[in-house]
Amino acid sequence: MLPETLLLRLELMALSDLYTSILDNDRLEDWPGMFVDDCLYEIIPRENEEMGLPAPVMLCDNIRMLRDRVVALRHANIYEKVAYRHMVSGLEFTAAEDGTITATSSYVVVNTSLAGFSEVYQAGSYRDIIVRTEMGLRYKSRRCVFDTLKVQTLLAVPI
Amino acid sequence: MLPETLLLRLELMALSDLYTSILDNDRLEDWPGMFVDDCLYEIIPRENEEMGLPAPVMLCDNIRMLRDRVVALRHANIYEKVAYRHMVSGLEFTAAEDGTITATSSYVVVNTSLAGFSEVYQAGSYRDIIVRTEMGLRYKSRRCVFDTLKVQTLLAVPI
Amino acid sequence: MLPETLLLRLELMALSDLYTSILDNDRLEDWPGMFVDDCLYEIIPRENEEMGLPAPVMLCDNIRMLRDRVVALRHANIYEKVAYRHMVSGLEFTAAEDGTITATSSYVVVNTSLAGFSEVYQAGSYRDIIVRTEMGLRYKSRRCVFDTLKVQTLLAVPI
């Protein structure tokens, strides 16, 4: 018999893997669909997070903003094309009475530059709120709290 | 109850972990056994893959060629000994009616040089076809499509 | 139906994830609790391990030593604060008749310096002995065998 919490762990891993696969395979158009309509997505430096200073480098607070960002990225030429590879580990989570899941995990994103060099691009922590919808688990909130302050390139593509 | 697809996910993770463990612990002799006899293994630059230009830097199209490569590696002194650590994430897969599984995942290989420096060696994507045999899941085809064009050393050891 | 060995795999992944989460989120005080009282924790260069030369750079052989180390770290100012992100893969394990589990996995630790640069800090292999206690799985022994000889900073914080 599989304990409830291990089953949920497997589902959360599948969710995280899908998120990674979408971003790493440049299927940006599928990215907003991982969130509920009334969602929050932000990328914020760890220092600001810890001092309670809101100063995200990227902030979308509903699904239309996520979609707008994707459209903008597809039409913009101002940033260098990325080739991310997301590595994720350290999943820890709790499920509330109403089914809402609070989760954290560590991430390391390796990027390959146009010149062909692969380097650690950003390390940090995902802080998630996940809800169950008719279409499966979705992010209500995904906050990317990053350690890395010296980044190689403009941060335009979601982490 | 565990949904079929989550059970298969677990099995695929076990397969990937075994593959990683074999390569990272220098048990090269066990590597061919992860494939069926009539298999394909190749390492190919992402650019070539996307342009449909076949120009793999490594290509084996049956299990004997995998075994030959291992023997060659054990006897060759022309390449610097590697100490790989494979990180894998973003598993996504579909299973066909006949049980054949098509899967992709992201990988980052960190290598430690003889001088003792650890660096990202190669980032890329596994594109797999996996089949169920009497001995469990095996690779029918594993294609390593790599982003990294500037590699530190000769690519002689499987990824 | 979930085979016993896949259930155990899931439990071991949960254990590893918790370990990662504790260290990556600077919850050092929770770290000793992942071990049984009569435990071994060491960090040892791969070369020494392979030559059978005991010369760990860190060695604790009971839980009190783990706790002492945490207290020392919290009061010491001699080392640069770390921001680790542990990536773990390649889990392979066997369970003995008496339930004792022997496991190995690959790790890559990315660290972000005070200056804000994220780099591969250490790559290596966990060699674990894990036992089942009333409080769940715990490490009887965790040996961190590292490949990386050129490290950026003093190794003071557990891996």
pLDDT attached to residue A77: 67
DSSP A97: T
Please indicate whether, in this complex, the C-beta atoms of C108 and B112 are within 8 angstroms of each other.
no
Q: Name every chain B residue with its beta carbon within 8 A of the beta carbon of C149.
A: 112, 115-117
- Chain A interface includes C11 (CB < 8 A): yes
pLDDT attached to residue B85: 98
Compute the distance between CA of residue A35 and CA of residue A137 in angstroms, rounded to an integer.
9
Task: Spell out the alpha helix ranges (H) of B25-148.
Answer: 46-51, 63-75
3-class SS at C107? Answer: strand
Closest B-chain CA to A116: B149
Number of other CB atoms surrounding residue B30 within 10 Å: 14
Q: What does the pLDDT average to over B97-123?
A: 95
- Least confident stretch, A131-135, A153-157, B80-84, C109-113: A153-157
pLDDT attached to residue C150: 79
pLDDT above 70: percentage of residues in chain B: 96
Q: Is C42 left (phi over 0), alpha (psi -120 to 50) or beta?
A: beta
**Is the predicted pLDDT of residue B153 greater than 70, yes or no?**
no
Average pLDDT of every residue of chain B: 93
3-class SS at A24? Answer: helix
pLDDT attached to residue C135: 94
**Is the predicted pLDDT of residue A80 greater than 90, yes or no?**
no
In sequence order, the 6+-apart residues with CB closer than 8 A to the CB of A159 are A23, A43, A84, A86, A107, A109, A122, A124, A144, A146
pLDDT attached to residue C77: 67
- Chain C interface includes A14 (CB < 8 A): no
Inter-residue contact B94 to B101 (CB < 8 Å): yes
pLDDT attached to residue C78: 64
**Is the predicted pLDDT of residue C2 greater than 90, yes or no?**
no
pTM: 0.96
* Complex ipTM: 0.94
Q: Which of A46-50, B29-33, B146-150, B153-157 has the highest mean pLDDT?
A: B29-33
In sequence order, the 6+-apart residues with CB closer than 8 A to the CB of B18 are B34, C90, C92
For tokens 């542990």, name the residue: C86
Over residues C14-49, the pLDDT tens digits come to 999 999 999 999 999 999 999 999 999 999 999 888
Q: Name every chain C residue with its beta carbon within 8 A of the beta carbon of A10.
A: 10
E strand spans, B14-155: 35-45, 58-60, 84-95, 101-112, 118-133, 136-146
**Is the predicted pLDDT of residue C128 greater than 60, yes or no?**
yes
Over residues A37-78, the pLDDT tens digits come to 999 999 999 988 889 888 888 999 999 999 999 999 998 766
**Is the predicted pLDDT of residue A151 greater than 90, yes or no?**
no
- Chain B interface includes A114 (CB < 8 A): no
| Interface mutation target, options A89, A92, A148, chain C, most CBs of C under 10 Å | A89
- Least confident stretch, A45-49, C65-69, C104-108: A45-49
DSSP C80: P
**Is the predicted pLDDT of residue B118 greater than 90, yes or no?**
yes
Please indicate whether, in this complex, the C-beta atoms of B123 and A25 are within 8 angstroms of each other.
no
**Is the predicted pLDDT of residue A35 greater than 90, yes or no?**
yes
Which residue from B105, B106, B108, B100 is spatially nearest to B138, judged by alpha carbons? B100
- Nearest Cα of chain A lies from the Cα of C101 at a distance, in angstroms, of 19
pLDDT-based confidence at A18, cuts 50/70/90?
Answer: very high
DSSP A81: -
pLDDT attached to residue C156: 82
- Least confident stretch, B95-99, C72-76, C106-110: C72-76
Compute the distance between CA of residue C96 and CA of residue C81 in angstroms, rounded to an integer.
40
pLDDT above 90: percentage of residues in chain C: 78
Q: Which neighbouring-strand residues pair with B94?
A: B102
Q: What does the pLDDT average to over B24-42?
A: 97
**Is the predicted pLDDT of residue B121 greater than 90, yes or no?**
yes
pLDDT attached to residue A88: 98
pLDDT attached to residue C25: 97
Please indicate whether, in this complex, the C-beta atoms of C148 and B10 are within 8 angstroms of each other.
no
Q: What does the pLDDT average to over C107-114?
A: 95
Phi and psi, residue B4, nearest 5°? -50, -40
Compute the distance between CA of residue A89 and CA of residue C16 in angstroms, rounded to an integer.
9
Q: Name every chain B residue with its beta carbon within 8 A of the beta carbon of A26.
A: none
**Is the predicted pLDDT of residue C65 greater than 80, yes or no?**
yes
E strand spans, chain C: 35-45, 58-60, 84-95, 101-112, 118-133, 136-146
- Least confident stretch, B94-103, B135-144, C73-82: C73-82
- Least confident stretch, A40-49, A99-108, C133-142, C146-155: C146-155
Over residues B42-71, the pLDDT tens digits come to 999 998 888 988 888 899 999 999 999 999
Q: Which of A14, A18, A119 sits opposite B120 (nearest CB)?
A: A119
pLDDT attached to residue C10: 97
Compute the distance between CA of residue B113 and CA of residue B46 in angstroms, rounded to an integer.
25
Compute the distance between CA of residue C4 and CA of residue C92 in angstroms, rounded to an integer.
15
Q: What does the pLDDT average to over C105-123?
A: 95
Over residues A87-129, the pLDDT tens digits come to 999 999 999 999 999 999 999 999 999 889 999 999 999 999 9
Please indicate whether, in this complex, the C-beta atoms of A104 and C17 are within 8 angstroms of each other.
no
Q: What does the pLDDT average to over B100-122?
A: 96
